[in-house]
Every structure is written in C-alpha cells, then in structure tokens.
Amino acid sequence: MSERHTDLATSSEDLGPLLDSIDLMYETGWTDGLPVVPPTRERVKQFTDALAPRDPGEVIASIPPLGGEATIERVAVNAVMAGCLPEYMPVIVAAIKAMVDDRFNLRGVQCSTGIHTPLVIVNGPIAKKLNINSGYNCFGQGWRANATIGRAVKLVLVNLGGAFPGETNKSTFGHPGSYTYCMAEAEDASPWEPYHVELGYAAEDSTVTVFPAEAPHNVMYHAANSRNFLTVLADTMCTLGNVQMYVMGSTCVVLGPEHARMLSEDRWVKRDIKTFLFEHARKPVGLLRRGGPPVGDSQRSHLWPRFVDPDDDNQMVPVVRRPEDIHIFVAGGAGGPHSAYLPGWGSRMVTEKIQEA
C-alpha cells in the first residue's frame, strides 16, 4: 500500500491554501462538478511511480472524439483529481486501454444521445487487494476504490476525450454513473467460475471489463423456481423501449447471490442460463415496429440476426444476436431476492488483463 500523508494540518487556517486550490480547480473546467484533489506534480509522481518502470510519457490511447493523448502522466493527473490511491493506477490504465478497443466504439459511446455510460467491472485477486466492493450496495456509494476508480475513468473521458455535455456529448439525460460506475464481481459468492476465467484467463489473473451500460434495472423474484425466475428476468430484458432490441451488441446480467445459488442448486450453469434468456427474451417483429426503430425497415435486418425475417410480423427477435452476447456476473449483498439487468447500447463488452507493476 502507498505511503499515507501523516503531516495533518494543525489548525483550520492551514487548510486555507488547499481550499483555495480546490476552488481554483473549478476554474479550470476540468472537474465533473464535484471537488477534486489538486494534481500537484509531487502527488502525480507518486501515481506514475506506481507503474514504474513504464515511462510517464507513454501513450496508452488517443481518446475520441477530441483525440487527446492519454499518457500515463495525464491519466495519473485525472486519477489524483478523482481521489484515487496510487495503487489503483493499473486498473484505470487497463480500463482505458479496453475502452479504445474498436468493438467498444468509444466515439459513439461518448457522443450518442443515449443514456449509457461505461461501467467498469474488476475480476481477480486485485479486487480484494484494492477493496473494490462486490457485495452490498456494489453499484452505490461507500467504497473509495469503486468511487474513485470509476471517477478517474470518467474524468479521462471528458478531459482527454473532450466529451463535454451539450457539445460533443449529446446524451439526452446523461447518467448518474457518469460520475462513477465501478464494481467487482463477487467471485466468492458465485457458484460458477469467475467471469474472467470463463473468458479463458487464469484465476490468478486480474482483469477489467468495460461495458457501455444503462442504469441497473432491478429484477425482483421472491419464490424458488429457477425457470420462473429466468422467465421474469427474460421479460425484463426485452422491453419495447430497450435500445438493445434494435441495435443488439452485448448485454449484461448481474445475478444476486441468492438467485445465483438457487440456479446453481437446480444445476443451471451459465451456458444454460444464456441459452434460456436468448430463447425467451424476445419480442415479435410486429410489436417492435411500434417501438420506432432507429433505422428504416429495409435496413434493420443487418442489425438483427439473419434468421429473423424483418418482414414477418410474427417472427421473434432476441435481445441479442447470440447467447454468448449475454454476459453474466454475480454480485450484490446476501439475503435479497434481487438481480439486475443492465441494457447495453449496441457495442461489445471488452476485457483487458490488468498489468500490475
């Protein structure tokens, strides 16, 4: 763990310059509306040192739409501002690298009129090491790592990507997660292999997964029938207003520990769950047409799976093109009969291995 500041101010007068510098940071236009930690050269160096021997000038990515170069040092500046600890840097750098993967379509994510924002999900040993919350309130407040890793990513996207609201960021409503949106998978509470192991990584590896997600939509189910629960979940996934029904891409299910245990005890594995949801989270073409698809009828078929005839009102359209486009995580607190569905935006979920120094 990094060295902590021990020379605390002895009187409120000593805090004056610090408060002035926080106010000054507002004047720069580089904050998200909340106070930030002033990124002094000395503090930033602690963060770049966390990735030594990598050069602070190393360019991780060019961030669209503006194309600002995210060097390690500039990422560190934004991480300091977010209130991170230096040891969070490998996670933030990996998340940024994942977001510029073409499958993620970061330019579109940054500029769209939609209501999504990148969600960061951490797997592997680093999640415990950094105390990234995966349990009660995992999408909410209370954990420094969740709050500040997610915030650092968002500050990078705005300050280096230039996605200013109303200018190049055309999001109609924005998203509370535009301040921060980060959690870990509750691997100990999961009856199945962790998400990153499912992808082929070793259990000892740590990974970060990014996904342009809407807000979590609660799926309540108090009874004890796995098939009925999955039917409820599938119904939640395929609402007419869900952009996913028209643009496909990846989609995200977060099973609460109680639901995951129920499914596992009934011998459901992730593959079967995905197949069930793919088969049942569907709406007929005729009904979807009322939803006002974003592209004309003659062009829709290139987004829906080829087996769907867009001219047949009775054909059933799945929420995604393939079962494997449904990504399942386990997280949340014990005791609650809740899971969450997070609609996507048409692009792909991307995972990157975290390179620890």
Partner 1 sequence: MVNTPSTGIQEQLQRWDILAANDPTANSQWNEAPRLSSLHGKTGGFLGNRKDNANPLLLAVRELLDKQFELSDSVVMDKFIYSRPAADNIVDALSERCDFVVTAIAD
Out of 2, 137, 140, 164, the only residue in the binding site for partner 1 (CB under 8 A) is 164
Shortest distance, position 298 Cβ to partner 1, whole Å: 10
Closest to partner 1 by CB, 78 or 178? 78
Binding partner 1 (rule: CB under 8 A), the pick from 9, 15, 19, 24 is 24
Total site size for partner 1, rule CB under 8 A: 43
- Based on CB atoms, which residue is closest to partner 1, 67 or 335? 67
CB 348 within 8 A of CB 327: no
Our finding on whether 27 is near partner 1 (CB under 8 A) is yes
Question: From CA 227, how far away is CA 333, in angstroms rounded?
Answer: 22
Asked if 25 interacts with partner 1 (CB under 8 A), we say yes
Structure tokens at 88: 């969070």
136 binds partner 1 (CB under 8 A): no
Does residue 44 bind partner 1 (CB under 8 A)?
yes
Which one of 127, 160, 238, 330 is in contact with partner 1 (CB under 8 A)? 160
Interaction residues for partner 1, span 274-333 (CB under 8 A): 293-296, 299
| Residue 245 sits in the site that holds partner 1 (CB under 8 A) | no
CA atoms of 301 and 148, how far apart (whole Å): 41
User: What are the phi and psi torsion angles at 80 (to 5°)?
Assistant: -60, -50
Tell me if 150 contacts partner 1 by CB under 8 A: no
Only one of the segments 84-92, 152-160, 274-282, 314-322 lies at the binding site for partner 1 (rule: CB under 8 A); that segment is: 152-160
Q: Does residue 36 contact residue 148 with C-beta atoms inside 8 Å?
A: no
**Shortest CB 148 distance to partner 1, Å:** 15
Binding flag, residue 243, partner 1 (CB under 8 A): no
Among 72, 77, 213, 260, contact with partner 1 (rule: CB under 8 A): 77
69: contact with partner 1 by CB under 8 A:
yes
* Core vs surface per residue 160-171: b (16+ CB within 10 A) or e: bbbbeeeebbeb
Among 39, 83, 177, 194, the residue binding partner 1 under the rule CB under 8 A is 39
Strands in 224-337 per DSSP E: 251-255, 282-284, 316-318, 326-330
By the rule CB under 8 A, 231 interacts with partner 1: no
**Separation CA 66–CA 349 (nearest Å):** 23
Q: Which residues contact 268 (CB under 8 A, 6 or more apart)?
A: 226, 230
- The answer for residues whose C-beta is within 8 angstroms of residue 286's C-beta and 6 or more apart is 313, 314
SS3 assignment, position 128: helix
Rounded distance between C-alpha atoms, residue 113 and residue 295, angstroms: 15
Q: Which two tokens stand for residue 188?
A: 């100990």
Query: Phi and psi dihedrals of 180, rounded to 5?
Result: -165, 145
Region binding partner 1 by CB under 8 A among candidate stretches 101-109, 223-231, 275-283, 306-314 = 101-109
Pick from 108, 191, 291, 337: which binds partner 1 (CB under 8 A)?
108
> What character string, x for contact with partner 1 (CB under 8 A) and - otherwise, covers 109-128?
--xxx---------------
Helical pair 41-49 and 72-82, crossing angle rounded to 10 deg: 110
**167-206 residues near partner 1, rule: CB under 8 A:** 167, 170
Residue 121's SS3 state is strand
Helices marked H in 167-221:
195-198
Q: Which residues bind partner 1 (CB under 8 A)?
A: 21, 24-25, 27-30, 38-42, 44, 66-70, 73-74, 77-78, 81, 105, 107-108, 111-113, 155, 159-160, 162, 164, 167, 170, 293-296, 299, 346-347
